[in-house]
Structure 1
Amino acid sequence: MATLLDADAIEDSARQAPALIRYLDEGDFVTRRYVSQGIEINTGRYRDYPMVVRDGMPIRGHFAFDTHGFMLGRHRTAINDFWDKAAVDQLYLRECEGAIQSLTGASCVSAGGWMIRTSADLTARAQEKVANYRHEGGIQPPAGEAHVDYNEITGRRAAERAYAAAFPDAPGYKRYVCVSFWRSFSPGPQDWPLAVCDGRTVSDEEATSNTLFVVDEFPVGDALTAPVDGEDQMIAASIFRHRDRHRWWYFSDMAADDVLLFKFQDSDHDVTWRCPHTAFHDSSLPGTRTRASIEVRAVAFFE
């Protein structure tokens, strides 16, 4: 049986890629994320910190969902073209539910919104005016800062809604885990791959909430941070300030059947219950290509 020292030695031997990870700066800020068609902005002040991101691909079997907060699995999809929105809506969410249930051992899984992210130039798309834009089923740039998509209030409510809608006659659940099921569908290696942070290396001390506002047009000036009634109860992510102890990983050159499953929030805090993540520019590998990926949000329930 592998010991903790063995695990540390395995991780310390991993190839390291230099990276700049964007964190919320020290200080007091109104922290909000505004999202529109093809573009998103954050309030607050952020800074890029030099970090290393370890390459977990050669030791992919080492990572455990409840230990690190993430794992790399395999799943063959029937989707031939992820740009085909109708096909993704019709087929992919049900595929993901089955895959997540298999990977986690959950009693049941409910998959919800999905999003494509690409490092391609989205300038023209961002200039489109789309009334009543929703932050799902669209195209966005790679994530720009270290974050977890749900804070605790948002995760708990997401689980309650998902279970009531998908399993109205079920007996209830003892545990829920809000997750992202992430796949790159562009040829590797990707220029802006996703990095995930070992959830054991983060704490509440450096975390704060980041309220989500989905808008047709961005506010300007003081309106970006003007008080909003009930904001503490609105949908929000968690964002993080830099700490040297954060340990980042990625999986280089992911193939079509590789899927990264990581936690937004686990109601069981006796295990690793969240996984900060962000994109980074990978300068360590030659011949990187434009990234295109799809992420699916889901909730796994344990009855």
Structure 2
Amino acid sequence: KLKGRWALINVWRNIKDTPVKKLPLAICEGPSVPLEDVVTFEIHYADRVGENYFARKSSEHRWFYFPEMTTHEAILLKVWDSRGAAFADHPAAAGGGGGAAAGAGGERSDLVPATFSLHSAFEDPSSLPDAEDRESVEVRTVVFY
């Protein structure tokens, strides 16, 4: 088990010579999604069980996107942070179980506000019906602090 802080950071980029005009990537601001809006679902692989997340619909979620992204632009998405406050008791969290760096009131003083960034492609109503399909790549990196 990893003992220090670690994170999964994805790099998302348009790989087409033309700007993204159809199905751009949207990102939800982490603090706008309370934990009770997050739904965890299991993904069963041959050798393990993984987890992924989605959020229940809420007008309180703050979504944003970068219109017409080009190949010269990229988005960094934090898709997991072992010191994320939302999942401090998750087995994959650094100090999981809430024991590390607890303050006087029992709260963890070493936590960061966002555990992950919900993100999705979406149908932009301003896109033209005959807009070219998006072509993009998303690469996962692991960061050790």
The two structures have a TM-score, normalised by structure 1, of 0.35
Matched with 2:115 is: 273
Match of residue 6, structure 2, among 176, 179, 195? 176
Q: Give 3-state SS (helix, strand or coil) of 2:83's partner.
A: coil
User: Whose helix fraction is larger, Structure 1's or Structure 2's?
Assistant: 1
CA contact (8 A) 2:19 2:69 kept: yes
**CA displacement, residues 112-167 of structure 1 (integer Å, 9 cap, x when unaligned):** xxxxxxxxxxxxxxxxxxxxxxxxxxxxxxxxxxxxxxxxxxxxx7xx5xxxxxxx
Question: 1:176: Cα distance to partner?
Answer: 0.9
Matched with 1:295 is: 138
Matched with 1:140 is: none
Matched with 2:39 is: 208
Question: 1:214: Cα distance to partner?
Answer: 5.7
- Partner amino acid for 2:80? Q
Question: How far apart are the structure 2 equivalents of 1:244 and 1:283?
Answer: 18
- Partner amino acid for 2:113? V
Question: 1:279: Cα distance to partner?
Answer: 0.9
Counterparts of 1:102-181 in structure 2, within 5 Å, are 160=2, 174-181=4-11
Counterparts of 1:1-303 in structure 2, within 5 Å, are 160=2, 174-186=4-16, 187-213=18-44, 234-269=49-84, 270-286=112-128, 288-302=131-145
Matched with 1:56 is: none
CA RMSD of aligned residues (A): 2.2
Question: How far apart are the structure 2 equivalents of 1:273 and 1:209?
Answer: 13
The two structures have a TM-score, normalised by structure 2, of 0.70
Question: 1:268: Cα distance to partner?
Answer: 2.2
**CA displacement, residues 220-277 of structure 1 (integer Å, 9 cap, x when unaligned):** xxxxxxxxxxxxx710101211111101011111111211101111122323221111
Question: 1:190: Cα distance to partner?
Answer: 2.5
Question: How far apart are the structure 2 equivalents of 1:297 and 1:208?
Answer: 22
Structure with bigger RCO (C-alpha 8 Å, 6+ apart): 2
Question: How far apart are the structure 1 equivalents of 2:117 and 2:41?
Answer: 16
Matched with 1:65 is: none
Question: How far apart are the structure 2 equivalents of 1:234 and 1:214?
Answer: 6
CA contact (8 A) 2:31 2:113 kept: no
**CA displacement, residues 191-241 of structure 1 (integer Å, 9 cap, x when unaligned):** 1111110011012101121222469xxxxxxxxxxxxxxxxx710101211
Q: May I ask how many residue pairs the two structures share in their alignment?
A: 115
CA contact (8 A) 1:188 1:288 kept: no
Gaps of 5+ in 2: 85-111
CA contact (8 A) 2:20 2:69 kept: yes
Q: Give 3-state SS (helix, strand or coil) of 2:124's partner.
A: coil
Question: How far apart are the structure 1 equivalents of 2:39 and 2:122?
Answer: 21
